[in-house]
Structure 1
Amino acid sequence: MATLRRRLKFVGTLLITLSAISPASSVFIIAPGAIGTAGSGAFWSFLLAGIVGLFMAFVYAELASAYPLAGGEYAIIARVLGRLPGFVALGLMLVTQLLIISVIALGVGTYLSVLVPGLPGQPVAAVVCLAAATVAVFDIRLNAWVTGVFLAIELLALGVVSWLGLAHPARPFTELLAHPVTGNGSVPASVGVIAVAMAVAIFAYNGYGSAVYFGEETRDAPRGIARAILWALGITVLAELIPVTAVLLGSPDLGSLFGAGNMMSYFLTARGGGALDTAVSLAVALAIINAVLAIVLISARMVFSTARDAAWPARVNRGLSRIHPRFGTPWIATILTGAASAIPCFLPPTVLLVVTGTSIVVVYAGLCLAAIVGRRNGSTAHAAYRMPWFPVAPVLALAALGYVLWQNALDTAIGRPSLLVTVGIGVVAAAYYLGVLRRRGSWTLRGPTD
């Protein structure tokens, strides 16, 4: 059986995981959506989302400690909740992971256009996907250092944003705490809009659980992966909450910030000038490229795991499970991942958002159920990490995820269609498992110790 090589230490796993989250991309691309909804109440949205993230990190850490496998979420759910739920999770993650690479890559052209106006975004995104797959074929330790260098650049950019706002605040911090506003800067932000924006903030923090995909390449994985997940969440919350707070404190006029077409560009130009805005935009472009590389690394390992588990025809399984003799990486799975993510770059962005919108929420709910069931049936009893205050974390996380799904159901533009697409993907995955894999008895869950 093909096996991956344990070449990563804790720091390497953490660097790749943080790069997949890409705090700079979240602050510059996702956070403005929360600010546009809740205004300065976005501070509370990001703070509360950090608490929900902590609950989910506890869930991820315990489950990943029990099953540090390259298959990630589907491999865990299948072993705890059963094969049918596991294969449905596989279908959702397979589609979501590949399309998320395309969604992120499409942001490269936007920020590189400060140097090359009129740069065609879709071809650039496709090239970035293919280039990232090429680099991802090389040794995992090399990729850890490459992502680490790029990560340092994006954290530096976030440090600049934080300094500009916190060193020269235009309003007191108590105003954010007690009197959040939205609209033109004078309308009080309600609890409802803060809660709606919290769903956006939860998505901005997403990715800390990606460390599990490197469980078969990390030394002392049961402990190392759990630590990487918890550290990744902590660093992410600080790296995003602080600059978001700085922008809300330091913007000369909140009404102008809320109404700006590019909120972060408005803030940087107002506080640091156009040259600084250009420099930070280039750093964000590098952060996006880095995120594409990291997510290709993650997705390729999931594709490799599906082949090792014999999810596809025999010839396909043999190809996708091959390990490069020199670099020790799943090279065919990696190349296929890059090619498969380059094609959707030419689809309308709205289509990509609809397909990827709610799948991860459903998978998160599956993990919460797995954490509860795993304690009851003993399937996670061997975990090296045990979450505190059980079952508080999975229960509260389930409540928050249920609220997010309810809000999506009310949104007729993207949320509701996304839910329908998620159901459709789940039905197709279930039909394939029941009609093909279970009938043949060919889906065999494998790991490095099997």
Structure 2
Amino acid sequence: MSSAADSGPRLEKALKPWNLLMIVLGYMSPAVTAFVYVPIMFGIYGGFSWLAMAIGAVVMLPIYLVYAELGSAWPLAGGEYSIVGRALNKGAAFVLFVLVMAMLVATAPITGLGAGMAAQAVWSGANPELVAVAVIALGIVLGLLNIRESAWVGTIALVVDIGLVAVVIVLGLVHGQWNEAGDRLFSTDVWGSDGSATSITFKTAIAATGFAALNYAGFSCAVVFAEESENARRHLGRIMMWVYAAYVGILMVFTTAVFLAAPSLKETLTSATPLADFIGQLGGAWLNKVVNILLFLVISQATMLFVVFVSRQLWSSGRDKAWPTPISHALSWLHPRFKSPWIATVLFGAITIPLVYVGVGDLVTILVIVLLISYVLMTVSAIAIRVRKNAPDDRWKMPAWQFWVVLGLAAMVAVASQQSATPLKIVGIIAAAAAVYYVAYLLPRHRTHFRLDSESEPQTPPSGSEPAAPTGAEEPQTS
């Protein structure tokens, strides 16, 4: 039996495997992680940061493997919800979709404002809000074009990323204090506000490892963009492993360079601006200015690709008929020339641009919880397809899968144990609302709406036109 997705359009398979690799790494932007999130770790976890990044990389490997296998089975623009719904349960899939979308809607204006603040560091007269709006608007324009253009932006972004990270790496190689490498890299010192050093506790080490592990997140976009890639089932597993190797390698070499070359490790890691101090001391003020310009460019490019990424997930929810028929049809329209989800792209932009001025900081606190829920559900789905044997057999398969899924679940439970109650409450409210909608609206219409059957991808002809408009009112159907 065909799925509900069969009646909807298909995205054009315009990406070669190397295009997919470039757009994924460009979206994940190792430089943004290195210059924005890693310094936050320095301030909180001090000398343990390098070890936390190393252990965090190991912790995330099982999750990359899980996404590689499940994504190669179902390379769909819906990402996690499309997979969980086919492998596990449609109700859990819809709740996950709503949680992920809430997280992404909250994240978009924050990343835009990040570009605004980077612009302000280059030009003090820049208005962060106006810059954020302009960058998101450029993301909308990019999202309206063919995915090939996004792949080129991703490639350019990655080149700039590598150049930016290379500045710190070269400084580390030239000024590295190699005779102190062991003491610096394997330090467990955490410095208090008074400058006193204490050895990190086990509980804090778990929290630091969790923070570090999530620095390697963002790879789910590989599954979303894979629907527009040729032979995704054949290539996606290998691409995910390349993404892991490249991303982990860049961030670990970057962090190592800072630890080895910092004139004073304590002063650098406890500074409010550790990387600016590091670059200024070793490279001069002019180099800091160049870095600020490049940082503005990479944050802007990452934000633009973020809009492209999220709009495809929103489009997929329309194709899968997650909403009333007129809304689903509108969301699933593709531009006749560019084969882009133009209604979904414009809608996402229209939602996020006002949020630049409203502020959604509290909602961003759900980021870690939603990521943990996604990773746990995906890992359980990886177990389910092995037991139920309900996934395409020609997918890429992770070796020694029992070991990796157990390790992944154990790691996620350890990270979850360190989370506070407030974001859990917010997630609970959003999840409850999504569950009510699913039970009240989607479940009675299960024959026509949100049909996530087990085929690898929607079996429809390539579409360059809009789907037919509904001919009449929809009626609930019950089994």
Same fold (TM over 0.5): yes
Partner in structure 1 of residue 459 of structure 2: 449
| Deviation of 1:443 (Å) | 2.2
Query: Residue 209 of structure 2 aligns with which residue?
Result: 198
Shift of 1:349: 5.6
Correspondence for 2:23: 16
Q: Is the Cα–Cα contact under 8 Å of residues 44 and 194 in structure 1 kept in the other structure?
A: no
Q: Does residue 374 of structure 2 align to residue 363 of structure 1?
A: yes
Q: Structure 2 CA distance, aligned partners of 1:118 and 1:383?
A: 56
Counterpart of 1:326 (choices 315, 327, 337) is: 337
Determine the C-alpha separation between the residues in 2 that align with 1:160 and 1:16: 22
1:397 aligns with 2:405: no
Change (3 A) 1:422 1:2: same
User: Quick one: distance in 1 between partners of 2:172 and 2:197?
Assistant: 20
Q: CA deviation at 1:37?
A: 2.1
1:251 pairs with 2:259: no
Aligned mate of 2:141, from 97, 112, 134: 134
Supply the distance in 1 between the matched residues of 2:257 and 2:206 (Cα, whole angstroms). Answer: 21
Structure 2, gaps ≥5 residues long: 1-7, 461-479
Q: Secondary structure at the match of 1:182?
A: strand
State the shift of 1:108 in Å.
0.8
Q: 1:245 to 1:194 in 2, by over 3 A?
A: farther
SS in 1 for 2:334: coil
- Number of the residue aligned with 2:156: 149
| Deviation string, structure 1 residues 330-388 (Cα, Å, up to 9, x no partner) | 11111212222222222446324224341111111100110011110012252421111
CA deviation vs aligned residue, 1:143-180 (integer Å, no higher than 9, x gap): 10122112101111101111101221246221134433
- Residue of structure 1 equivalent to 2:105: 98
Say which of 159, 162, 184 aligns to 1:176. Answer: 184
* 1:237 aligned partner: 248
Q: Determine the C-alpha separation between the residues in 2 that align with 1:380 and 1:52.
A: 26
CA gap 1:179/1:356 in 2 versus in 1, 3 angstroms: closer
1:36 is aligned to: 43
1:426 equivalent in alignment to 2:426:
no
Please tell me whether the aligned partners of residues 304 and 333 of structure 1 are also in contact (alpha carbons under 8 angstroms).
yes
Q: Figure out how many residues of one structure are paired with residues of the other and give that number.
A: 444
Secondary structure, aligned partner of 1:202: helix
Q: What is residue 234 of structure 2 aligned with on the other side?
A: 223
* Mean Cα deviation higher: 297-306 or 351-360: 351-360
- How far is 1:186 from its partner? 4.5
- What is the distance in 2 between the residues matched to 1:262 and 1:297? 31
Aligned to 2:476: none
RMSD of aligned residue pairs (Cα, Å)? 1.7
Deviation at 1:191, TM superposition (A): 4.3
Question: Judging changes above 3 Å, is the alpha-carbon distance between structure 1 residues 383 and 123 closer, same or farther for their aligned structure 2 residues?
Answer: farther
Aligned to 2:120: 113
- Secondary structure of the corresponding residue to residue 444 of structure 2: helix
Q: Are 1:301 and 2:312 matched, yes or no?
A: yes
The percentage of aligned residue pairs carrying the same residue is 29
Deviation at residue 199 of structure 1 after TM alignment: 1.6
Secondary structure of the corresponding residue to residue 435 of structure 1: helix
- The 8 Å contact of residues 322 and 330 in structure 1, kept in 2 or not, is answered as yes
Give the residue type in structure 2 aligned to 1:296: V
After superposition, the Cα gap between the structure-2 partners of 1:276 and 1:307, relative to the gap in structure 1 and judged at 3 Å, is same
Aligned residue for 1:417?
422
Distance 1:400 1:36 in 2: 23
Aligned to 1:63: 70
Q: CA deviation at 1:189?
A: 3.7
State how far apart, in whole Å, the 2-side matches of 1:123 and 1:134 are.
Answer: 17
Q: Which has the larger radius of gyration?
A: 2
* Aligned residues of 1:166 and 1:246 also touching (Cα < 8 A): yes
Q: Which runs of 5+ in 1 are unaligned?
A: 410-415
Correspondence 1:436 to 2:447 = no
Shift of 1:34: 1.5
Task: Provide the C-alpha distance between the structure 1 equivalents of 2:196 and 2:26, rounded to a whole number of angstroms.
Answer: 34
Distance 2:423 2:145 in 1: 35
Q: Once the two structures are superposed, what CA deviation does each residue of 1:291-311 show, in whole Å capped at 9, x if it has no partner? A: 112221211111111001111
Which deviates more from structure 2 when the two are superposed, residues 103-112 or residues 72-81? 103-112
Cα distance in 1, alignment partners of residues 269 and 380 from structure 2: 39
Choose the corresponding residue for 1:264, options 261, 271, 275.
275
Shift of 1:16: 1.1
The answer to whether the 8 A contact 1:375-1:381 is kept is no
Preserved contact between residue 133 and residue 334 of structure 1 (Cα < 8 Å): yes
- 4+ residue runs over 6 A deviation: none
- In the TM superposition, residue 255 of structure 1 has moved relative to its aligned partner by 2.3
